[in-house]
Every structure is written in structure tokens, then in C-alpha cells.
Structure 1
């Protein structure tokens, strides 16, 4: 691959996917919403959730802390297929989740993505979450309490 634009597009799309994972881990739902086109969709058939548009994506995310005690998502690069100002791709992930109701989830999943080049860079046009493996055995570990803040 020697086309500089294709290389730049791939780097930018990979950065978009990394930004999504970071925003999810930091519970920054405003940032997550900003990573989608204005009519972008986040679809999670196993949840089930079909969320369209930045306002709905942000609002859905803001409800997550009410349902989720802790969440760790590790996302791994997958394929990116460029098509001019659009692209498709997949990213692979593992998640550990404990819900507020005490249930647990260890899963391996795939994000099936559609990307759109915009004036603000690459954005998700659609992100579909497909669980490939789910283990609901109670997790043995716990999330540590937040660290104490020291003032000087």
C-alpha cells in the first residue's frame, strides 16, 4: 500500500475506532455521540438497542451508569475497506461487564462498521455490535474503589 491518501484514511479510521473505545471506557457519552454522523446509528441486536442520531446515542449512553457497575472493553484492529468517501470495517473486542443487578458478562464480539468522510474527518455512519461468545458466569473479581485524591 503506497497511496498516501489511503494510508491517511486508514490511520484516521483506526484513530476513530480508538477514540470510541476510550470514550466508552471513560463514560464520555458526548464524545461518543460526536464520533457519529448526525444520522449515524449504533445497533446492538443482542441488547437489544437500535439507536439513531447523535442525540439518541448520547441519551442512551447517559443511562449506562444506572445499569452498569463497571465495564472494560478491549478493542483490537480489524479490516478496513476503503471506497472513496465511505469505508467499511470490522473491529474485534472483548468485554468484561458487571451490571448493577449483579449479573455479569464476559463476551467476545465484533463491531461491523460503516464509515463516512465528513468535513470534520471520518465518522461512524453505522456501528453494529455482534456478540460471538457470551459467558454470564458471575465474575469473581471486583472493581476497586476510586483512588483517594491528595491535595497539597
Structure 2
């Protein structure tokens, strides 16, 4: 099926948003999340043992939780994106190795289930939920 230029542009902008999220978290640039999520976004990381709440709560949670790791990588696969005008949904696979102090590597496999909205400043994530696939080498 042929896609319109607008649909191609929307898909690329959403993909860039997902990449920007990965880079912001892995670089510990918490304020960069302000231009990735809507101000009233709801974020649910409970599937992987994390927090649930608004953006300020999640930024605080991430800063505290990731302080235990020397490095992390959010390796995302191409997303399944469904566009519907100025909204969209997405399901994105993520493989997330994280290195603990001492060198032990924890692997987390998950999906991000997102609802996106087009704003006057471009696409943003309005809702994000994690769906757990696996943990490997988790501290016990």
C-alpha cells in the first residue's frame, strides 16, 4: 500500500521521538524527556518493577533507579505504528542491557506500548506502558 508523504513524515517523526527517548535515558538527560512526553503524560513502568505516574514522578524514579547502573542501552526495534490523524499508537520492542557496579549485566526485554499525539510542537508521547518479556541475570 502506498503511503502519503504526510504519513511517512509522521512515522519518521514518531520514530525519532522513540530514539530521542532512548538517548535521553541512556545519557541520563532527564530534562530532555520534557520534549518527548506531553506535560500531562501518564507513564507506567510497573511491569518491570518501576513506578507509575506523571512525568515529574517518572523523571525522579529514573534518576534514582538508574543511579545503580554504570551504563545502559535501550536498543529499540522498528515500531508497529498505527496512525489515526493527530493521534497514533505504537508497540516497540526494546532490549535493555544495564551494567551494575562491579560489571554484572542485567538484561531486560520489554515492549513499550505508547499513545502519541500531534502537538503544535510535533509528536509527543501521551501515554506509555511497559509490557515485560524477560529479565536475565537479575539481582536476587
State the TM bucket, normalised to the shorter chain. 0.7 to 0.9
Structure 2 equivalent of residue 128 of structure 1? 129
Q: CA offset at residue 29 of structure 1?
A: 0.7
* Equivalent residue pairs, number: 137
| Cα deviations by residue, 1:54-98 (Å, 9 ceiling, x for unpaired) | 322332233234332321221111210001111001111111123
Indicate conservation of the 8 Å contact 1:69/1:98, yes or no: yes
What is the aligned-residue RMSD (CA, Å)? 2.1
Indicate conservation of the 8 Å contact 2:88/2:117, yes or no: yes
Following the alignment from structure 1 to structure 2, what is the Cα–Cα distance between the partners of residues 50 and 102? 29
Following the alignment from structure 2 to structure 1, what is the Cα–Cα distance between the partners of residues 123 and 66? 28
Seen in structure 2, the aligned counterparts of structure 1 residues 137 and 118 have a Cα distance that, compared at 3 Å, is closer
Seen in structure 2, the aligned counterparts of structure 1 residues 66 and 101 have a Cα distance that, compared at 3 Å, is farther
Structure 2 equivalent of residue 51 of structure 1? 53
Which structure 2 segments of 5+ residues have no match? none
Q: CA offset at residue 107 of structure 1?
A: 2.0
1:13 is paired with a residue whose SS is: helix
TM-score (norm 2): 0.86
Structure 1 equivalent of residue 22 of structure 2? 21
Larger CA deviation: 103-112 vs 127-136 = 103-112
Which structure 1 segments of 5+ residues have no match? 139-152
Structure 2 equivalent of residue 111 of structure 1? 112
Seen in structure 2, the aligned counterparts of structure 1 residues 137 and 58 have a Cα distance that, compared at 3 Å, is closer
Following the alignment from structure 1 to structure 2, what is the Cα–Cα distance between the partners of residues 133 and 106? 8
Following the alignment from structure 1 to structure 2, what is the Cα–Cα distance between the partners of residues 93 and 22? 13
Off by >4 Å, runs of 4+ in structure 1: 100-104
Structure 2 equivalent of residue 82 of structure 1? 83
Larger CA deviation: 94-103 vs 43-52 = 94-103
